[in-house]
Amino acid sequence: MTGEEISAGGEAVHPPAEALLYLDGVNVSFDGFKALNALSLVIEPGEMRAVIGPNGAGKTTMMDVITGKTRPQSGKVLFRGDIDLTRHDEAEIAALGIGRKFQKPTVFEMHSVEDNLLLALKGDRRPSRVAMMRNNPGERHRINEILEIVKLAPLKSHRAGDLSHGQKQWLEIGILLAQEPDLLLVDEPVAGMTDAETEETADLLRRINATRSVIVVEHDMTFVRALGVKVTVLHEGAVLAEGSLDHVSADPRVIDTYLGR
């Protein structure tokens, strides 16, 4: 051990070996605008974390950095202790076991619900291999399992484009599950959902969290409360507060940020 890891804020941070995801002093700026400002964040294996923050706080940029879409100018992004995510691209990071759900539900509209999951199933992604692949019972079994989890079994042969907004959100979560990732990044999963759907989604994520780590970015406070997990508040590209929802909502800086906006 070389001693305690010290984050930019001066607080002690876990040594990366234990963490599933470890961000330290990550900086991203676009044309002078600092989207991430010395962001540090640690996700433990098996943890579910809610990330909240006003618009422009850097939530989506943080996901872009983790999934390899955006390269940070400086800082550490480590996965499972020693994998430097800044050295990998989107496809490699997906193969390493990080799945991402977009803010706007993004599914393959022209494909059936079943085919959406088929394309997402963990497996060889090289064009020459993919061209040879044939449907097999193991895959069908796995697809049916996922369809049950995301409650889309009766719609499996429907075109994904014909699904309702909420169903598309679930299908996209199903797509993530099919990838069998260790870490799911879920961007605004309940945007545009009814209250009943929101509740079911919270339930779904909790069940997923039984076997996988999850980072949820959300604006909906009832939903975050329903998740009942540790909350990280982002503001201007850095962590403003961290802790239980009650703890952070009592924090005067958080109140200022939300009310002052």
Partner 1 sequence: MILRFLQRLPGKTDYILPALLLFVALLMGGLSLLPETASLHVSGYVVSLFGKYLCYALLALSVDLVWGYAGILSLGHGAFFALGGYAMGMYLMRQIGTRGVYGDPVLPDFMVFLNWHDLPWYWYGFSQFAFAVAMMALVPGLLAFVFGYLAFRSRVSGVYLSIITQALTYALMLAFFRNDMGFGGNNGLTDFKDILGANLQSDGTHAVLMLASAVLLCVFYLLCRLLIRSRFGKVLVAVRDAESRTRFLGYRVERYKLTVFVFSAVTAGFAGALYVPQIGIINPSEFAPANSIEAVIWVAVGGRGSLVGAVIGAILVNFAKTVFTGAFPELWLFALGGLFILVTLFLPRGLVGLWAQVHGRFTRYREAKREGTLRVETVPRHGDLPEAKLEVGE
Residue ranges binding partner 1 (CB under 8 A): 67, 69, 90-92, 94-95, 99-100, 102, 106-111, 115, 118-120, 125-128, 130-134, 159, 161-162, 175, 179
CB of 99 to partner 1, least distance (A): 7
- Please name which of 249, 203, 192 lies closest in space to residue 226, comparing C-alpha atoms: 203
The structure tokens listed for 251 are: 């924090």
CB of 89 to partner 1, least distance (A): 8
Residue among 134 and 141 whose Cβ is closer to partner 1? 134
The β-bridge partners of 19 are: none
CB of 100 to partner 1, least distance (A): 5
CB of 108 to partner 1, least distance (A): 5
Residue among 88 and 235 whose Cβ is closer to partner 1? 88
Can you tell me the distance from the alpha carbon of 72 to that of 142, in angstroms, rounded to the nearest whole number?
36
- Please name which of 55, 72, 64, 53 lies closest in space to residue 241, comparing C-alpha atoms: 53
Helices and strands (DSSP H and E) totals, the chain: 10, 12
Can you tell me the distance from the alpha carbon of 50 to that of 193, in angstroms, rounded to the nearest whole number?
18
Q: Judge contact between 146 and 170, C-beta under 8 A.
A: no
Residue among 67 and 198 whose Cβ is closer to partner 1? 67
Residue among 52 and 117 whose Cβ is closer to partner 1? 117
The β-bridge partners of 27 are: 74
Residue among 187 and 197 whose Cβ is closer to partner 1? 187
CB of 67 to partner 1, least distance (A): 6
Residue type, position 18, single letter: E
